[in-house]
């Protein structure tokens, strides 16, 4: 995601936390591993990331989310 960071920083300019939807799972990696990779990239632009799969109630989490990334 490094090549996209300037654009993501602009798009999510007012966001400090976002929810990531990791269901695509490239190469079949786990949801946790995919979320970790995305989190590492977003940390570079001071945005924390939590995977949708980590929430007890994903629908409520999405309703309250500052930002969503898929």
Tens-digit pLDDT profile for residues 9-20: 999 999 999 999
β-pairing, 68-69 with 17-20? parallel
In order of 16, 19, 48, the CA distances from 61 in angstroms are 15, 8, 15
At 28 the pLDDT is 86
Rounded distance, CA 7 to CA 23, Å?
22
Please identify every stretch of the chain with a pLDDT value under 50, giving residue numbers as ranges.
none
State the pTM of this model.
0.90
pLDDT for the residue 56: 97
């Amino acid at each position: 995601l490094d090549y996209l960071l300037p654009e993501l920083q602009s798009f999510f300019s007012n966001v400090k936390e976002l929810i990531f939807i990791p269901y695509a799972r490239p190469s079949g990696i786990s949801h946790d591993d995919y979320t970790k990779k995305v989190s590492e990239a977003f940390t570079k632009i001071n945005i924390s990331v939590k995977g949708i799969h980590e929430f007890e109630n994903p629908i409520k989490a999405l309703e309250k989310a500052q930002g969503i990334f898929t």
